[in-house]
Amino acid sequence: MEAYEFHEQRQLEMQNRVIWILASLSLIYAFFLFPDRALEIAISTADPLGKAIARLVGWASCMASLRFLMFASDPLFKGSGRAPRFVRTSFASRAAEERFGCSSDEATELWFKYFDTWGNPANPNHMLMRVTYVRTYQARLVYCLQRFLIGLALVSAATILLNHFAFGAFEGSLGTSRLLLQCVVAGGFVVGYAALAASNRLPSASGGATGVWRQLYEVFQRSRVEFAREVLDDAGDLRHAFRRVEDIRLASLAPPATAKLTPAPKSRRPQTDVPDAV
């Protein structure tokens, strides 16, 4: 139960952090980049207060939809990009695939059955389970932010072009200042993405992983070593590996043995008036 609650806590923390950051970035886009003219056409008013309310309502609706889309699945572990492929090839269950030639689903099932035994606080790998949860959710946070920032940068560039060619938003005495402000905001999204990408690089021919990807790889390798030591090395095939995991699970549920202590015998030494030597 303790491990489950820790996992749920980390998951909620990551989701809340992502949503707050994305909400702030989206709010900046809504007030600094979203075309005024398009908003006036949509709500049939040019009143500043009405447009501000419309921006907030639209922003809140988009954030609710975005939260569902981002967290309904697990894009980092189930996606098809470079980062998901790196995560899947580093996963501890790959050791079972390589050892027994089984399918990815079978190896994943075996791994998680074993990984669940770490939830017992008395298990020597309990702290490694906690570290694994922390590292995986840190990687998810960076992955989600990178995808959102690059998407927001592309949308911002398209919005600037739309403001210029479709709505003539940069004409007049304030046009240049408005254009400069929007370019700075869009550039900020690009800089944010570049900073995350530079500090969290995936492995390539020119170097290894850095940042959250290196930390995730290291904790997966530690898990893989324990998986092989406790399960795979003592199993001749996949069936025996599942049996080995079941034995480990049952052992983790067994109450600890308690030694029956025998009271020490009382000293029968006769009392004398001579004190003991110090």
Residue 202 lies in a domain: yes
Mean pLDDT (the chain) is 84
- C-alpha closest to that of 144 among 219, 41, 75: 75
Residue 48 lies in a domain: no
Residue 32 lies in a domain: no
The three-state secondary structure class of 204 is strand
Q: What are phi and psi of 204, to 5 degrees?
A: -145, 180
Residue 235 lies in a domain: yes
CB 120 within 8 A of CB 252: yes
Residue 185 lies in a domain: yes
Q: What are the tens digits of pLDDT across the range 198-247?
A: 999 999 988 899 999 999 999 999 999 999 999 999 899 999 999 999 99
Q: What are the tens digits of pLDDT across the range 120-134?
A: 888 999 999 999 999
In DSSP terms, 204 is beta-bridged to: 207
Counted residue by residue, the chain has a size of 278
In the block, residue with structure tokens 């098809």: 80
Total domains present in the chain: 1
Instruction: Compute the Cα dihedral for 205, 207, 212, 215 and give only its sign.
Output: positive
- What domain range includes position 109? 74-253
Tokens of 190: 């690009």
Alpha-carbon separation of residue 151 from 21, 29, 31, 223 (angstroms): 14, 12, 17, 34
